[in-house]
């Protein structure tokens, strides 16, 4: 995955977070056709950037700081 592809995936994840419909890391890996490890790495980066705060098990989605 190059930098452009990673940036596109980050933007898609941010949109899904705002909609509260990311699904699990495994589901996102399938959706984006990348490994689950890559999804978790991207999520960690998004947390460091303040875009994602935690995984909400009731919604089965990552949430942002506005949630």
Domains identified in the chain, total number: 1
Q: Does residue 27 carry a pLDDT above 80?
A: yes
pLDDT at 65: 72
The predicted pLDDT at position 67 comes to: 58
- Classified as helix, coil or strand, 31 is helix
H helices of the chain, in order, are 3-19, 25-32, 36-48
Average pLDDT, the chain: 94
Contact 37, 44 (CB under 8 A): no
Q: Residue 32 sits in which domain range?
A: 3-63
CATH code, domain with 17: 1.10.10
- In the predicted structure, residue 14 carries a pLDDT above the cut 70: yes
Beta carbons of 14 and 8 less than 8 angstroms apart: no
pLDDT(36) > 70: yes
């Amino acid at each position: 995955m190059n930098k452009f592809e990673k940036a596109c995936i980050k933007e898609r994840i941010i949109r899904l977070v705002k909609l509260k419909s990311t699904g699990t890391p495994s589901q996102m890996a399938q959706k984006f056709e990348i490994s689950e490890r890559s999804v978790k790495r991207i999520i960690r980066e998004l947390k460091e950037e303040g875009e994602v705060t935690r995984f909400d098990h009731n919604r089965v989605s990552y949430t942002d700081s506005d949630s």
